[in-house]
Amino acid sequence: MKDQSEVTPVFFEEGFQEKYSKDRAFVYESLVKEKGSWERFKERLARLYERVFGFKTSEQAHRALDVTIYVLAILLTILVIYLIVRAIMNDEGSWAFGRSSDKKVIQYDQIEQNIHTTDFQRLIHESEKNGEQRLTIRYYYLWLLKLFSENEIIEWDIEKTNSDYQNEIQDTAMKTDFSYLSYLYDYIWYGEFDIDQPTFDKAKTAFDKIIKKLKR
């Protein structure tokens, strides 16, 4: 038996394709996200890994590359921490000894603790031979304090300042000499510059003159 019911035709609206093409809910094609420069760089490295190390699949090459990047990141972090710690240690050294650039001075941090047993003549000879003029003047000054102490002109104490020592000196001429040598020491040792040869020679001569008097 045939169906005798009336059929009503249905027509699509004009331009219906445009309506559905703009609605994301009806877009079934997978959208490929554009790769950034870092991703492209990793892709090239992974292909290089695959050729050099003979990985069978690109997935293996990518995993090896990720491990390499992870290890390098850890090593870089350790290096940065090391540099920060070293910079802090150097700064602490500069607080105790003057300029932060005087890294070699840290090697001599025990000299002031043992001023009476230190051979300053030997240290002066070695530092001057190595062209370390500022360090040479520092040794001269410590040697001067050692001789002042041995001659009972001052009482040596590592915590005392130059002014403390100067106030202890009773002889007027010696006090004047010490004041001048302290000025030379502060100017050369704590000055943020390299001294020229004439300045060094002048300071050395001034120290030698007083030290010879004290060693008689």
pLDDT digits (tens, 9 = 90+) for 130-147: 999 999 999 999 999 999
Higher pLDDT, 194 or 150: 150
d(CA 142, CA 211): 11
Show the CA angle centred on residue 57, arms to residues 53 and 58, nearest 5°. Answer: 85
d(CA 101, CA 124): 20
Cβ density class 51-68: b for 16+ within 10 Å, e for less: eeeebeeeeebbebbeee
Q: What is the pLDDT of residue 179?
A: 94
| CA torsion through residues 72, 77, 82, 84, sign | positive
d(CA 103, CA 123): 17
Domain ranges of the chain: 37-95, 103-214
d(CA 49, CA 62): 8
Query: What mean pLDDT is predicted for residues 25-44?
Result: 66
CA-CA distances (angstroms) from residue 110 to 105, 116, 121, 169, 188?
10, 12, 17, 26, 21
Amino acid in position 208: D
Say which residues have a Cβ less than 8 Å from residue 50's Cβ, sequence separation at least 6. Answer: 58, 60, 61
The share of the chain scoring above pLDDT 70, in percent, equals 72
pLDDT of residue 99 exceeding 80, the answer is no
Query: What mean pLDDT is predicted for residues 169-177?
Result: 93
Token digits of residue 53: 């190390």
Q: What is the pLDDT of residue 180?
A: 94
Rg (CA), the chain: 40
Q: Which of 32-41, 43-52, 94-103, 195-204 has the lowest mean pLDDT?
A: 94-103
Q: What is the pTM of this model?
A: 0.51
> What is the rounded average pLDDT for all residues in the chain?
79
- Give tens-digit pLDDT for 52-84: 777 777 787 778 778 888 888 899 899 989 888
What DSSP character marks residue 28?
-
